[in-house]
Amino acid sequence: MNGGSTEHEQDHERRTTLMQTSPAAPRQATRPSPPQTPEAVTATPRKGGRFGLPTATALVMGNIIGGGIFMIPAAVAPYGTVSLVSFVVLTVGAIALALVFGQLARRNPRTGGPYVYAREAFGDFAGFLSAWSYWITTWVSNAALAVAAVGYLDVLLPVGHSIGLSIAAAMAFQWLPALANLAGTRYVGAVQLVSTVLKFIPLLLVSVGGLGFFDARNLGPFDATGHGWAGGMTAAAAILLFSYLGVESAAMSAGQVRDPERNVGRASVLGTAGAAVVYLLGTLAVFGTVAHDRLIHSTAPFSDAVDAMFGGTWGGTAIAVAALVSMTGALNGWTLLAAQAPYAAAKDGLFPAAFAKERRGVPVFGVVTSVALASVLTILNFATGAKGAFEILVLVTTFTATVPYLLSTAAQLYWLVRGMPDKVSGGRLARDAVLGLGAFGFSLWLVAGAGYAAVYQGVLFLFAGILVYVWMAARRRD
């Protein structure tokens, strides 16, 4: 075992030296790859990327503020108002993750985000697990967003009473953003900016205006489960993590961001902080305007909140439209991210080569495959009912998202321990070590809160990828 560990360490030393002297092709001199998967293609960041700081920030905020904020108040209401405490803790952890991703992106500003960081620090298998798990997270999240969108569509059209209509509507929500992605990344950025602006108007109406209608009698008990506030807080946080998925969006698409060494970190923090303010105020307003007994059964809690504020149904209808715009924008951004992790891994020979093929700057096969898998999962889960399907999908993504989060924060700690603070700590080693340890512990806490069923399903998804890795590793050695 010691001999193998020494060889692995020597291999890291050779790769690190080569990366510092020749960033365009850091690993080809130490581990030859097949000609059809040259790593140099992804290793060189493009300084003239398509996304500036505003668009990159909109990508982060648009992906974070998607279906989560519109469904989460009802999903966590059964735990009581202790879930608001979870929200505060989760916000601190999400900002810590954003800062870590910004530091890692300064070190290696390549498309692929968590995959790139895990592979650079720990080798091919860790990189593959990160890419595979993140890929699962993206298309499972898309399925969850489509389920949430159907709940708000039911406010406008009575589709929720028919499983067939619900499935058809969910398919439309998934495939229309896919068509926008296939048209090119220029259209993806435009859709993100427009949808992010449009969603903020009604969200601010509820988040700020709702506080004027706040009634503490609507809050319900602090610990609604009766099993202790600590357990309820952890369980609520596992569901709430879905609300913050997307904090890594700028790092994931670093190859499309202009000046990624600066803008990825800024966009990550600004987007996460902005989303956190809206989330906290919005959830508090919904808790205070919709009676607890009604909220736990709601499929459109923000619409119910506006109806309670102003009476009638016009306000709820307006919020439903805004929610659908928001979710469509989030599906647009997540469809892009769903293709980025397998794209970067395919360029390095760890995913099938089809994922690396581009048209108009878009990995077509990755987009189509991800949306197809999300569609299948949506159909399978609708049998449990829209709200039940949403919660199941949310908890699965909680587990799969923490795998690349854990590996990314571990990569940050790895470089700190190795004593290479040139692009990581900026001379503030202690601060970055505390930040990295906090983000790692935070991610581990979320795994514990996901629950046995979610971890079980997530592990099945994760381990199924080992067969893909075995196949690709064998082909690379031929």
Residue 11: predicted pLDDT: 44
d(CA 30, CA 199): 49
Residue 1: predicted pLDDT: 41
Give a yes or no: residue 239 inside a domain: yes
Residue 34: predicted pLDDT: 35
CATH of residue 96's domain is 1.20.1740.10
**Local confidence pLDDT in tens for the 478 residues of the chain:** 433 444 444 444 444 443 333 333 333 333 333 333 333 333 344 444 466 777 777 777 766 776 567 777 888 888 888 888 888 888 888 888 888 888 888 777 777 778 888 998 899 999 999 889 888 888 888 887 888 788 778 777 766 567 788 888 888 888 888 887 777 656 666 666 666 667 677 777 777 777 778 877 778 777 777 667 777 777 777 777 767 777 777 777 666 677 777 777 778 888 888 888 888 888 888 888 888 888 887 877 877 888 888 776 676 677 778 778 778 777 877 787 788 778 888 888 888 888 988 776 678 888 899 999 888 888 877 766 545 555 666 667 778 888 888 999 999 889 888 865 454 445 567 778 888 888 888 788 777 766 777 788 788 888 888 888 888 888 776 5
Is residue 169 within 8 Å of 153, Cβ to Cβ? yes
The dihedral built from the CA positions of residue 161, 163, 164 and 166, taken in this order, carries a sign that is: positive
Domain count, the chain: 1
- Residues in a beta bridge with 359: 362
Residue 23: predicted pLDDT: 34
Is residue 396 within 8 Å of 140, Cβ to Cβ? yes
For residue 349, the enclosing domain spans: 51-477
Give a yes or no: residue 46 inside a domain: no
Give a yes or no: residue 16 inside a domain: no
Give a yes or no: residue 33 inside a domain: no
DSSP-derived secondary structure letter, 81: T
Phi, psi of 471 (to 5 degrees): -65, -45
Give the amino acid at 232: G
Residue 407: predicted pLDDT: 92
Beta strands in 105-245 (DSSP E): none
| Greatest alpha-carbon span in the chain | 73
d(CA 323, CA 39): 40
The dihedral built from the CA positions of residue 370, 348, 118 and 422, taken in this order, carries a sign that is: negative
Give a yes or no: residue 30 inside a domain: no
Give a yes or no: residue 12 inside a domain: no
Give a yes or no: residue 5 inside a domain: no
Cβ-in-10-Å burial (0-12, 13-18, 19+) of 244 comes to buried
d(CA 174, CA 166): 12
d(CA 371, CA 176): 10
Give a yes or no: residue 432 inside a domain: yes
Return the closest-CA partner of residue 165 out of 180, 186, 179, 151.
Answer: 151
